[in-house]
Chain A
Amino acid sequence: MATTLTINGEQKSFDAPADMPLLWVLRDVLGMTGTKFGCGIAECGACTVHIDGKPVRSCMLPVGAVRDRAVTTIEGVGATPVGAKVQKAWLDLEVIQCGYCQPGQIMSAAALLATTPNPDDSDIDAAMAGNICRCGTYVRIRAAIKQAASQRQS
């Protein structure tokens, strides 16, 4: 099925079955490998992208359901002020170890800060508990979200 999506502000046209999860469109059709496969059942959050600014697990989202909505991935989130703040905080606090889950963590954190500029611990728990990190970087993720929140919007 010929489809056109707006991904990170760019129009992308491709052929894919309507039931194909957005994750595999990004990775295997468009070659945008920043978004990660972790579980395939929306349990780990590694595949998190934004649809119209809201975090979704792309491994279970059929591409046919995306239609005219704007997709933002880890490759594009740095172009948003909140995404850039999150990425900077992640590096400032050296959150990352293996890094494989971190695109999903950053997407979830950026979506949280976009709606809740000053999250408390329970906001962070609610927004981030869907993202598993096997390296166990949770302590620094929490600290980095707070640091990003404390930076003034630039």
Chain B
Amino acid sequence: MAAAQKNSEGVSRRVLLSGGLAGGFLLAFHLPLHALAANEPVQPPDVTEGKFAPNAFIRIDSAGKTTLVMPQVEMGQGIYTAIAMILAEELDADFSSVVLEHAPANEKLYANPAFGIQATGGSTSLRVFWKPLREAGASARAMLVHAAAREWQVDPASCTASNGEVIDKKSGRKLSYGALAANASGERPPKDVAPKDPKDFVLIGKPLKRLDTPDKVNGKAVYGIDAILPGMKFATLKACPVFGGKVGKVDDSAAKKIPGVQKIVVLDDTVAVVGDHMWAAKKGLDALVVDWDEGPNARLSSNDIWQDLRAASEKDGVVAKSTGDIAKGLATGSRLDASYELPFLAHATMEPLNATVHVKPDACEIWTGTQIMARVQSEAAKAAGLPVEKVTVNNHLIGGGFGRRLEPDMVVAAVRVAKQVDGPVKVVWTREEDVQHDIYRPVYRDTIAATLSDGKIVGWKYRVSGSSILARWLPPAFQNGIDIDALDSAVDMPYDIPNFHVEYVRAEPPAVPTGFWRGVGANNNVFAIECFMDELARKAGKDPIDFRRAMLGKNPRLLAALNLVAEKSNWGEPLPVRAGRGVSVQPSFGSFIATVVEAEIDEQGEVRLRRVTSAVDTGIAVNPDTIVAQLEGGLIFGLTAALYGEVTIDKGRVQQSNFNDYRMLRIDQAPKIEVHIIKSGEPPGGIGETGTTAGPPALRNAIYAATGVALRRLPIDRSLISAGKKA
């Protein structure tokens, strides 16, 4: 393995160099390739000794090097830059020289207040860390100012700070944060330090360049899948294609003959092949002859699952919210009923699932990219049979999360393989394995009944039926039969409706594991609600935007977004035949967004996206360019699912396997996208999932406008459109 060692040294030099070349920003992600001695932890423990370390996020050494520890993970959403901007803003640090570090696994210091565990998801980062990060920065700044004032024997109020220095306003004397670090450590953290007045922001609100992107244009960025360790082996695996099935007999005689194959690992439900490189591992896996014990789910099909869900959704659910008098409301005016259905979806992150694991007799070290650091550590400990403190997790930049990396299964699987391997092993899933053993966005069915009187909704009864991801993923959050995620955007609907009733039916699909998918519960509810709003508007004889406007009186932020998008999208102006505009609005994730999709639909039901316009009030826009980028990308993500996304089950196994049959939207189908940000002084809302939930209903409503066909199921069904079937 001398060759591998040599290679990792070569890569290592490049990575070490990259910090100083990264466009003026020093990026010191602690990447695996820094450490050539395999036993040495490569994401160094968070050493605070000899540094000014007033809280979990800020470390300043005597040379002034300011390290910001990132409590949330970077998976493309730009959160590292946003967190650094907020901390540096309040700290008055020199932003051009801050160093970012992934947080280590530490639930106490880095738990996401929204979940109580160390997790990045649900578009929560800025919503929950905005205040603590500002306070952390402001408090640290105050301690540095006090240390300087004490040194100069002046009133702290006569000092200010800027760019990593404290300045005595009267004399103009300066002390750098590095020079003050030792003394500031002795200062007591002040109580109730006021963060800056937003009018004094020098970083927040500016479209600053991202800190993580310079190394992403030249191949230097290191993702979990890029980890290289001396002596490392490579493996790929295959679980029983039928959910819940087991390994029966294995004939490995052909696999063992493949050059480079080192070892066959047979677990109870999974086989893996370990080799000198991924090619040997993959060829070896293909050559294994496995007789699977398919178990009780071998006859399961999508039809069965839908039949069960439809039956469950016709029963009463647990009442989540009821205001006014729903019986009276539904007896008033003219009534419309509908149901909407959403399919299983895979995440298909561009970086296939992977983890590199080195299991030693008394310790386990892991290199991966995860949205759940501490949970990965504890689940790996269970799998390795070690105490949790003996497991080290080195996190990485993430090549797409979308909720998939809120699960530890890829790490647990790698640990199970690594237990049978001497030295480190990188376990990489094939794309086929990724699609066929995802933890899927659940199927949902939503039933709605509403009544109209004088062009307004007077009664609204809504029932969500589907899997409770929270009940499995965060059991304490599942209370009284209510899944608050599954009801997101349904119980807090923006419209003013006098008689309002929402229920939840927990319906778990047999065998198919379900998990969070970008847009989480809001995805389902925004789709059903906004599609139904268009059907109600048509029944009331109203324009879809006018119809919504009349019921948004108590929601001025959303109303302003709707008015702006109407203007910017040229709403109401003539379009060619078979082209239409559709609108959707949502208050989800603390961001108020209105979106118009303009699409053209041919006689065969094929859809061409022409243009998407969004107007959003997301509170204080920490980095406006990132907000635009997240909406562009989120819209594409949602529109991809609306146009193509469906995982189906037959004979207990997933029928899709790779990008050839689990289709993605590509550049030649991408519409023009315009995003308009509404200036706001409110605290920041979430933005990573906002576009994903906004796109599908607006597209469906555009199809409705263009063709009169009211689709009630995703992905859009071209045959229904071409048949011209009206609801």
> What residues of chain A have their CB less than 8 Å away from a CB belonging to chain B?
14, 16-17, 20-21, 24, 27-41, 43-44, 46, 73-75, 78, 87, 90-91, 94, 96-103, 106, 124-126, 128-142
Contact = CB atoms under 8 A, between A and B. Distances in A.
A97 B634 contact: no
Interface residues of B, number: 71
B400 A134 contact: yes
A39 B10 CA distance: 27
B278 A135 contact: no
Given A46-B350, A94-B210, A31 B400 contact: no
Contact of A21 (B222, B279, B430, B431): B279
Contact residues of A: prevailing secondary structure:
loop
A138 to B, nearest CB: 4
Of listed A87, A91, A97, residue having the most chain B CB within 10 A: A97
B400 A74 contact: no
Q: Which 10 A-B pairs have the closest CB atoms?
A: A34-B219, A136-B636, A31-B7, A98-B76, A100-B399, A99-B216, A97-B76, A28-B277, A136-B633, A125-B668
A99 B279 contact: no
B216 A38 contact: no
B664 A27 contact: no
20 contacts: A24-B278, A32-B219, A36-B350, A38-B350, A38-B431, A39-B658, A44-B350, A44-B664, A94-B629, A96-B217, A97-B76, A97-B633, A98-B351, A98-B399, A98-B401, A100-B349, A124-B667, A125-B667, A135-B76, A135-B400
B234 interface: yes
A112 B77 CA distance: 28
Contact of B217 (A32, A37, A106): A106
Contacts of A39: 431, 658-659
B398 interface: yes
A64 B370 CA distance: 36
A29 B640 CA distance: 36
B279 A94 contact: no
Contacts of A128: 666-668
B212 A33 contact: no
Interface of B: 3-4, 7-8, 10-11, 14, 23, 75-78, 209-210, 212-214, 216-223, 225-226, 228, 234, 259-260, 276-279, 282, 348-352, 397-402, 428, 430-431, 625, 629-630, 632-637, 640, 658-660, 664-668, 670, 672-673
Nearest to B209: A94
Of listed A39, A73, A91, A142, residue having the most chain B CB within 10 A: A39
Contacts of A131: 666-667
A141 B430 contact: no
B400 A98 contact: yes
A136 B635 contact: yes
Contacts of A98: 75-76, 349-351, 397-401
A142 B666 CA distance: 12
Given A129-B666, A138-B667, A99 B278 contact: no
